[in-house]
Amino acid sequence: MTGRGYLAYVAAAALALPGMAHADAAADFAAHCASCHGEGRLGGTGPALIPETLGRVKGLDQVIAHGRPATQMAGFGDVLSAEQITGLVDFIKAPVAQIPDWDAARIEASREMAADYAPAPAPVFKADPMNITLVVETGDHHVSVLDGDTFDVLDRFATPYAVHGGPKFSPDGRYVFIMSRDGWVQKYDIWSLREVGRVRAGLNSRNIAMSHDGQWLAVANYLPQTLTILSTATLEPVKVIEVEARDGTPSRVSAVYQAPQRKSFILALKDAPEIWEVATDPEAGPFYDGYVHTFEKGGTEAFGAQEGLFARRRIRTEEPLDDFFFDPDYKNLIGTNREGTKGVVINLISGGKVAELPLPGMPHLGSGITWDRNGHKVMATPHLDEGVLSVIDMTDWSLVKQIRTNGPGFFLRSHETSPHVWADVFFGPHKDEVHIIDKQTLEIVATLNPAPGKTVAHTEFTRDGRYALVSIWEDDGAVVVYDAKTLKEVRRLPMKKPSGKYNVWNKITFSDGTSH
């Protein structure tokens, strides 16, 4: 059976739940929830709704009635009675009949390589291959490949369903890997303008990370609770790591990122207070910094088969981390728990906590950026449930300023050549605005409104920082190209609900103005 066929079978099996109340709830689920969360509750654009992944979610009835701030989850309080909502809560807390065992064999069976793909010896276009910008169009699940100088669309290809998070480029910028929430990872050759292949690395996935040397791609999964490591050359699964805390608690992975200087992947467990480091160099391993202690002595413990490549190390934290970020040399991790009011700074060498930060209001560190200000490196992060950006001094971890915005925003972007941070106002009545913030004074110096009444989000710069591209996040949307100095619109490219945009050069050079 192919990966897709197997899932259809599982989805049908998963619906087979006993009892009349369940029958009503199952009908409500099918009518109101299945389109996003999957018929078998195993996830789609929304997360899987099964006990294994609902672990830490509190107040499910409130979430169903009122929605979830800063997500696509809408409230159903006006279409469902309190009784129906209680029925749905019981329904999604009940185990599904069968959760597929998405192991290495099944992952491998899902792998589909394009039979007619042959790598071009050189780029098949005249554009600067380092100034290509990819635009994810979530309206019809495509990516447009833009020439970053002329803004011509060089190719437009279909992606898996519901791409989320930043695509990850090979270190030479030639290949890009794109992940969808339902676990598919697609490999695309930018020089040849061709898909290379795709594989289903998980059933409900969070994000992906490229190893420092471009050989391995880590896929953080919610379902199953694993970290899948793929060969970037062939997309074959080379290791599927069960994610279990030290006390045996299985856990989803909040996210995984590469730490290039440390030659490792760093991930946080969503359901247990642990950070993991996985070596991506056989010489590195978790021991290379000489600070591996037991939990009692320090914050760190090595575990698993210490085989060099993919050797693991745990760092204990006080709370599970939902979101995290790094300083530019990857010595420290800044993490938050979305239910908490503070952030923590964990030193990745010692594994110990070095500071606490005041960060209320659901900071979204996944979209944080850094820049230089008065000789200090600062980082900024939007908050998902209030109109605030926090700016933190990364030298002494003090709060420099909370910048008030016209509503909660999702994404920040800047560029080495730009004096500004571009911050969208994704939620609320000002969702059509983008603030332009001076990186030195930390004041809002302009507010753009490219399409009144429509959601505007996510900025990306061209390689040289001359232009800034902003998405009109609507089905009949557009990418608006601004002159980054004059803040005047220069082009408007029609696109279908464009979301993130990713410039090859800015991403592979870890430009200061972009998130990981």
Closest distance to ligand DHE from the beta carbon of 146 (Å) = 15
Closest distance to ligand DHE from the beta carbon of 436 (Å) = 18
For ligand DHE, the closer CB: 29 or 265: 265
Q: Determine the Cα–Cα distance for residues 61 and 450; give it in Å rounded to an integer.
A: 37
Closest distance to ligand DHE from the beta carbon of 364 (Å) = 7
Backbone angles phi, psi at 466, to 5 degrees: -70, -35
Question: Distance from first CA to last CA of the chain, Å, rounded?
Answer: 37
**CB distance 489 to 507 below 8 Å:** no
Secondary structure (DSSP) of 319-368: S--SEEEE-TTSSEEEEE-TTSSEEEEEETTT--EEEEEE--S-B-GGG-
**Token pair listed for 147:** 């020439």
For ligand DHE, the closer CB: 26 or 241: 241
**CB distance 435 to 388 below 8 Å:** no
Find, among 215, 137, 233, 171, the residue nearest to 479 by Cα: 137
Find, among 493, 450, 494, 503, the residue nearest to 475 by Cα: 494
For ligand DHE, the closer CB: 72 or 441: 72
**Token pair listed for 312:** 């693991």
For ligand DHE, the closer CB: 300 or 336: 336
Going by DSSP bridges, is the β-strand pair 312-316/274-279 parallel, antiparallel, or unpaired? antiparallel
For ligand DHE, the closer CB: 87 or 335: 335
CA atoms within 13 A on the CB side of 242: 10
CA distances 357 to 150, 230, 270, 392, Å, are 43, 35, 20, 8
- Burial class of residue 485, CB neighbours in 10 A (0-12, 13-18, 19+): middle
For ligand DHE, the closer CB: 29 or 222: 222
For ligand DHE, the closer CB: 180 or 192: 180
3 state DSSP class of 227: strand
Find, among 37, 22, 39, the residue nearest to 68 by Cα: 37
**Token pair listed for 90:** 């019981």
What single-letter amino acid sits at 23? A
Closest distance to ligand DHE from the beta carbon of 68 (Å) = 8
Find, among 181, 139, 165, the residue nearest to 498 by Cα: 139
Closest distance to ligand DHE from the beta carbon of 424 (Å) = 10
For ligand DHE, the closer CB: 125 or 411: 411
Closest distance to ligand DHE from the beta carbon of 409 (Å) = 11
Closest distance to ligand DHE from the beta carbon of 384 (Å) = 6
For ligand DHE, the closer CB: 138 or 414: 138
Other beta carbons within 10 Å of 49: 25
Closest distance to ligand DHE from the beta carbon of 109 (Å) = 26
For ligand DHE, the closer CB: 336 or 499: 499
Q: Which chain residues interact with ligand DHE by CB under 6 A?
A: 70-72, 138, 164-166, 207, 255, 366-367, 410-411, 458, 499-500, 515-516
Closest distance to ligand DHE from the beta carbon of 180 (Å) = 10
Closest distance to ligand DHE from the beta carbon of 209 (Å) = 7
For ligand DHE, the closer CB: 164 or 187: 164
**Token pair listed for 162:** 């519901």
Closest distance to ligand DHE from the beta carbon of 144 (Å) = 14
For ligand DHE, the closer CB: 164 or 420: 164
Closest distance to ligand DHE from the beta carbon of 207 (Å) = 4
Other beta carbons within 10 Å of 430: 20
Contacts of 19 (CB under 8 A, 6+ apart): none
**CB distance 157 to 174 below 8 Å:** no
